[in-house]
Amino acid sequence: MAEDPTRTKAPKARAIPPAPRSARQLDQIVLSTLKAGLPYSAYEITRMAAQQGSPLSAMQAYRVLVRLIHRGQVMRIETLNAYALAPEQGSGFVVCRRCRTARTIVLPDREPDMRALCGTVGFSLSTMVVEASGLCAPCLGTLK
What residue ranges bind Zn ion (CB under 5 A)? Answer: 96, 98-99, 136, 139
- 32 or 101: whose CB is closer to Zn ion? 101
CB-based contacts of 63-67 (< 8 A; 24+ apart in sequence): 63/26, 64/23, 64/26, 64/27, 64/29, 64/30, 65/30, 67/23, 67/27
- 71 or 97: whose CB is closer to Zn ion? 97
- 118 or 139: whose CB is closer to Zn ion? 139
Rounded to the nearest 5 degrees, what angle is found at the Cα of 81, between the Cα atoms of 121 and 108?
A: 50
DSSP β-ladder status, 74-77 and 82-85: antiparallel
- The least CB distance from residue 139 to Zn ion, in Å, is 3
Instruction: Report how far residue 139's alpha carbon sits from residue 97's, in angstroms, rounded to the nearest whole number.
Output: 9
- The least CB distance from residue 84 to Zn ion, in Å, is 16
- 47 or 98: whose CB is closer to Zn ion? 98
- The least CB distance from residue 99 to Zn ion, in Å, is 3
- The least CB distance from residue 129 to Zn ion, in Å, is 21
